[in-house]
Amino acid sequence: MPYAPSILKIVITTLLFPLPAAIGAARGQMPVIPGEQRSFPAPDIDRQWQKEQNEALERARRRRAPRGESPAAPVLNDAAVAANSAVAELILETALQHQDWDTIERVLPLYAGHPRHDRQLYRFVKGAMLRARWRLGPAIDLYRQMLDADPTLNNVRFDLAVMQFENKSYSQAKRQFLLLADNPREPLFRELSLNYLKRIAERARPSLNLTADLLHTDNYNQGSDVEYIYLWGLPFRNNNRRQSSSGQSLFVTLEQDVNLAGNHFLGYSAYFNALNYARDNHYDERTALLGLDYQYQSLRDTFSVGPVYTYRRLGGESYARDVGLSASYGRWLTPRWQAALGYRLLDRRYYRQPIGELYDGKIAIHSLNLMRAVSNRFLLYGGVFHEREKLGAADVSSRQSGVNGGFTYIAQGGLDVRMQLRFGRKRFDEENAFFGVRRRDAVTRLALRLQYRPWTFQGITPRLVYQREKTTSNIPAFYGKSSNQLMLSFSKEF
């Protein structure tokens, strides 16, 4: 199959006229940084031999043309490219300048089969193609081979370090950036490398977040609006009707991911929340969570697995604890689409009786989500989930399946809007002990957050958060409920 006329025109023009410096830089000078040029060693090609071959091909073409007719236009096909490494180089260099990866993928095998091909040019062009297609692992290997052949190629070293940084191999990238930063003869590479070293140090240090909330809720006790509850045909006054209150909460989060080697990390997280209500301190909550996990991180993949522990207090007394395992896997399918899987298995125990006899048990949670990066300012996501609670009593054990979704939008002026919506149907294993029917619930949760980014003072960011939860049940007197909560939040990162 002949090559496109545009490629053919470029090759013929380049053979007849001097090669522009910008194209020649693709092999010998790789302009990865504006204004900076670095040369490869001279390619192992006899240019005089190539010139003679080109002239011989031209004479043969003219002899084949019928007398009195102009010679036919040259046809550039795979056979011609494979027979002439200079033509292949010109195509590769031109395609690289135009980021024409399909042409590069077609020509590279032909060029590699030529006995006089430039191995460094081959590695560089193929590495650039693999990098553009998110295959950083093989691209990094090729750039390492280039440095093994010539350690003086500082532009290649810089590209290698940047790819390792993009691929989350921070310890390896750090070694390359340090070599460049210690070279006084390369001021531009030194400055850029110091900036990357600063970013690596920032990602390695612990992340501390403090968040304080002022809130108001119309149902802090998770009560219902029903005045009377009927059991066996007899009315009983509902002593757990909804109550409203203002309050405040404090969140403290500490996280760190330590790069062990390559793409392997060890991460930990610690979380504490204190929630106080002005009206009734019997519902004040304290929650502490600890997590430790192994992580694999790369440009496209993220995997984590590790133990989690949660401890809760209610009204000043120990209430419950969870011990379990959490695992997740995420992959960027394309630069715009990401898929994520999640799994969590918990063993829950309550400190109070008879609550523990009924509700102690195992909880398993599965989730699958897709995210679409519509633009740099707009993200959409959605997915499905399934939860299984196998508890002490069969009539409170349940299965819940549902969907969730949301979006994040950051306007050009700085308005940050985030919304989450979750809906699930919950079915219980056996008939309720009091009402004689199998309980079925539908649970809807909505969260909306507004933030105006220019309104930040001393690193403190204010946010307005609204949350709503509604449960409809076939046993509405006991289990039908709703709540609305409005929060003014102030957050600061350290």
| 157 lies in some domain | no
Nearest 5°: the CA angle 86, 92, 93 is 90
Q: What is the value of pTM for the model shown?
A: 0.79
User: Does 352 share its domain with 466?
Assistant: yes
Confirm whether 285 is domain-assigned.
yes
pLDDT at 240 over 90: no
Q: Are residues 75 and 216 in the same domain?
A: no
Buried/exposed code over 270-302 (b: 16+ C-beta within 10 A; e: otherwise)? bbebebbbeeeeebbbbbbbebebebebbbbeb
Q: How confident is the model at residue 2 (pLDDT cuts 50, 70, 90)?
A: low
Over the range 148-175, which residues count as b (16 or more CB within 10 Å of their CB) and which as e? eeeeebbbbbbbbbbbbbebbbbbbbbe
Are residues 216 and 67 part of one domain?
no
Reported confidence tier of residue 354, pLDDT bands at 50, 70, 90: confident
Same domain, 226 and 326: yes
In this structure, are 229 and 124 located in the same domain?
A: no
Distance CA 445, CA 423 (A): 7
Residue 21 counted as domain residue: yes
pLDDT computed for residue 76 by the predictor? 67
User: Do 218 and 112 fall within a single domain?
Assistant: no
In a domain, 173, yes or no: no
d(CA 36, CA 475): 73
Shared-domain flag, residues 400 and 481 = yes
pLDDT above 90: percentage of residues in the chain? 68
What angle in degrees, to the nearest 10, is found between the helix axes of 21-28 and 119-132? 100
In this prediction, residue 115 carries a pLDDT of 86
Could you list the residue range(s) of the whole structural domain that residue 260 is in? 205-493
Mean pLDDT over all residues of the chain?
A: 86
pLDDT value for 64? 53
Looking at the structure, do residues 102 and 249 belong to the same domain, yes or no?
Answer: no
The answer, yes or no, to whether residue 329 has pLDDT greater than 50, is yes
Omega of the bond leading into 354 within 30 degrees of 0 (cis): yes
Last residue in a domain, options 109, 133, 157: 133
Lookup: tokens for 355: 């609550």
CATH of the domain at 484: 2.40.160.60
Has residue 62 been placed in a domain?
A: yes
Distance CA 156, CA 141 (A): 12
pLDDT of residue 81: 79
| N-term to C-term CA, the chain | 60
Is the same domain home to 216 and 312?
yes
Same domain, 330 and 424: yes
The answer to whether position 145 is within a domain reads: no
Question: Residue 391's closest CA among 354, 358, 345, 355?
Answer: 358
Last residue of a domain, one of 105, 133, 161: 133
- Amino acid, single-letter form, for residue 96: L
Tell whether the model's pLDDT for residue 355 goes beyond 90: no
Residue 51 pLDDT > 60, yes or no? no
d(CA 167, CA 9): 38
The answer to whether position 472 is within a domain reads: yes
pLDDT of 217: 97
- Give the three-class secondary structure for 292: strand
Residues 113 and 238 in one domain: no
How many domains, the chain?
A: 2
Q: Is the pLDDT of residue 365 over 70?
A: yes
Residue 487 lies in a domain: yes
Q: Which of 133, 158, 189 is the last residue before a domain boundary? A: 133
Residues 6+ apart with CB under 8 A from 119: 149
8 A C-beta contact, residue 371 and residue 360: no
Residues 361 and 487 in one domain: yes
